[in-house]
Amino acid sequence: MKKILVITLILIIVLNLTQITYADTLSIPAETAVLIDAKTGNVLYNKNMDKQMYPASTTKIMTAILALEKTDLDNIVTVDSKTPYETQQGDSSHIALRPGERLTMRDLLHALLIESANDAAVVIARYISGSVEDFSKLMNEKAKEIGAKNTHFTNPNGLPDENHTTTAYDLAIMAKYAMEKQTFREIVSKYKYSISKTNKQPIRYLKSANRLLYGVGASNQINVNGNYVDIKYDGVNGIKTGYTFAAQNCLVSSAKQGNKDLIAVVLHCQGRNVYIATHKLLNYGFENFESKKIAFKREFIENIKVEHGDMPYVTGIIGKDLYINIPKGRDEDVKRNIVLGEKIQAPIKENQVLGKVEYSLDDEILGTTNIVSATNINMKPIYKVVNNTNDSIFKKWWFWIIIIFILWRVFIMYRRYKKKKLRRKKRYNIYNNY
C-alpha cells in the first residue's frame, strides 16, 4: 500500500513538472507575452503578462471598439483641417487623408485596422469626442469596464508617449472583447481592402502588415523550433500589428482550429521574432489543450428550496452550453462548485438566473455558467395578497397622510403623558414637604 502511494505521488509530481517545464521552455522571443482562451479569457501561458509596455498600433483595437459602439458604419465623416498635418509626418503610417475629405466610418475603420492609418485613428477620435484628449478618456473608461485595469491611453493610434502604456494581458482582454463583435472580426480577418474614390482622393488600395494572414513562400519563412515554416498560420483570423522604436514589434493575434479559439499577444519583439513568438504560443495552445463541452444546456443541477412559493422547490438547470480549454488528459480533474443566490424567493420565472456553476482545475476557475429555473414558480396566495398590498399601498398619497397623522397623534399623546407625569411628581413633592 505504501509503495502504491509513493509511486502515485511521484507520478503526480512528474506530470506537474512536465507541464510546467514544457511551458517554461517555450523560449518565447518577446519581452512579454500571453495566450488566452478566447471564449473564457483563461490564461493558458504567460510571460511577464502584467508588465507595463508600449502598445504601438495595437492601441487601435480600443479605438475600433469605441467606433463600433458609438457610431454607425454608414455615417459620413469629414476630415478636419488639423489631423492630416499632425499625423502624416516622417514614417507615420497613414492613408493621406485631406482636409474636408468625406469618407464613411466603415472605410475609416478598414484604414485603421488594415492599413494601420494613424490619420484615420485621429479623425475617428475627433468625430466621436471632439478632441484626442476627450477620446483618450473614453478609451481608458472602456478599458477599465472590460477588465483591462493596467492600461492608460493618451492617444487613439499608439504613437510614442511615455504615459501611453498597457500590458500583454490587458491587450488580450481587449482583443477578446473586440472579437465578440462581428464587424470587427470581419475587418481584421481581411488583408486587403479598397476605399472608393472620394471628393479629395482617387481609389485607395489597403494592405495589412499582418503576414500571419498571407505570408507564404521563400521570402516569408521563419525558423520555429528548428523547422522552417511559412509565416502564415493556419486558422489565424486577425488581429493587429504594431511598431514604434520604443515598442519594437508588437502583435495581437486570434486563431481558430476546430472548436478551439485562442488569442495570443507578444510585445517588444525584434524583427520576425514577433511571428516566431506567436507561432510558438499558438502551437502550444492547440497542441496541449483540448476544448471540452463541460456543461450542457438544460442539464439538471439540483432542486433548490424556494421561499413563499406554491411549490417548495424549483428545478435548477444549466442555462447554456459551456466549452473550456483543458490540458489534454486532465478533464477528469475538473471540479464543479455550485453557487446559489442568497435568497431564492417566489415568484420565479422560467429561465430566471438562480446562481452559477464554477468549473476549476488546480484551484483556477476555468469557466462559469448560469443555473436557471426550469419552470415558473408562483407565490403562495397569502404572500401574494400581502405582497400586492404592500406594492400598491405605498404608492398612494393618502397612505402617507395617514401615517403622518398617526405619528402626530402618537407625539401629542406622548407629550400629554409626560406633562401628566410631571404634574404628579410636583404634587407628590408638595405633599411630602408638608
- Tell me: do 301 and 204 sit in the same domain: no
Asked whether the bond before 156 is cis by omega within 30 degrees of 0, the reply is no
For 250-283, the pLDDT digits (tens) are 999 999 999 899 999 999 999 999 999 999 999 9
Dihedral angle of Cα 169, 174, 178, 184, to the nearest 10 degrees: -90
The reply to whether 5 falls in a domain is no
Asked if residue 1 is part of any domain, the answer here is no
Last residue of a domain, one of 274, 289, 304: 289
**Mean pLDDT value across residues 12-16:** 40
Please tell me which residue in 39, 47, 60, 260 is annotated as part of the active site.
60
One domain, residues 215 and 66: yes
Do 359 and 253 have their domain in common? no
Q: How is residue 255 written as a grid cell?
A: 486563431
What global pTM score does this model have? 0.79
Q: Please tell me the predicted confidence (pLDDT) of residue 12.
A: 42
387-423 pLDDT, tens digit per residue, is 555 555 555 666 678 878 888 888 888 878 777 777 7
Of 17-31, 87-101, 159-173, 208-222, minimum mean pLDDT range: 17-31
pLDDT of residue 20: 36
pLDDT band at 220 (very low <50, low <70, confident <90, very high): very high
45 part of a folded domain: yes
124 located within any domain: yes
The whole-number pLDDT of residue 432 equals: 58
How many whole angstroms separate alpha carbon 119 and alpha carbon 116?
A: 9
- 322: domain range? 296-373
Mean pLDDT across the stretch 211-239? 98
CA-CA distance, 267 to 31, in Å (whole number)? 6
Mean pLDDT of the region 219-245: 98
pLDDT score for 3: 47
C-beta separation of 152 from 163 below 8 A: yes
* Residues 233 and 94 occupy one common structural domain: yes
pLDDT at 332 over 70: yes
Tell me, yes or no, whether 196 and 90 share the same domain. yes
pLDDT of residue 421: 72
Choosing from 39, 47, 116, 254, the catalytic residue is: 116
Residue 424 has pLDDT above 80, yes or no: no
Q: What is residue 403's predicted lDDT score, i.e. its pLDDT? A: 79
Structure confidence at residue 391 (pLDDT): 54
In a domain, residue 382? The reply is: no
Residues 226 and 322 in one domain: no
Averaged pLDDT, 200-221: 98
pLDDT tens column, 87-130: 988 788 999 999 999 999 999 999 999 999 999 999 999 999 99
In the predicted model, is pLDDT for residue 16 greater than 60?
Answer: no
Domain final position from 289, 309, 331:
289
Alpha carbons within 13 A on the beta-carbon side of 146? 22
Let me know if residue 408 belongs to a domain.
yes
pLDDT of residue 17: 36
Are 173 and 75 within one domain? yes
pLDDT at 428: 58
> Which CATH number fits the domain that encloses residue 176?
3.40.710.10
Integer Cα distance of 172 and 45 in angstroms = 12
Q: Is 60 a catalytic residue?
A: yes
> What confidence category does residue 384 fall into, taking pLDDT thresholds of 50, 70 and 90?
low
Selection from 28, 23, 90, 25 nearest residue 268 by Cα: 28
| 335 and 232 both lie in a single domain | no
Give the model's pLDDT for residue 19: 38
In the structure, what pLDDT confidence band is assigned to residue 30 with cuts at 50, 70 and 90? Answer: very high
From the candidates 39, 47, 57, 253, give the one annotated as an active-site residue. 57
The rounded mean pLDDT for the chain is: 89
Q: Are residues 195 and 117 in the same domain?
A: yes
> Average pLDDT in the 294-311 region?
93
* Whether residues 173 and 99 fall in one domain: yes
Q: How many residues does the chain have?
A: 434
Check whether residue 122 and residue 251 sit in a common domain: yes
Q: 249, 268, 289 — which closes off a domain?
A: 289
Please list the residues that pair with 262 across neighbouring strands. Answer: 37, 255
Distance CA 252, CA 265 (A): 4
> All 3 cell numbers of residue 352?
430566471
Residue 330 covered by a domain: yes
Specify the pLDDT at position 340.
94
CATH of the domain at 359: 2.60.410.10
Element (DSSP H or E) covering residue 197? none
Whether 8 is in a domain gets the answer: no
Residue 313 and residue 405 in one domain:
no
More confident call, 275 vs 344 = 275
Query: Could you give the number of structural domains in the chain?
Result: 3
| Residue 109 backbone phi and psi in degrees, to 5 | -65, -40
Share of the chain above pLDDT 90, in %: 74
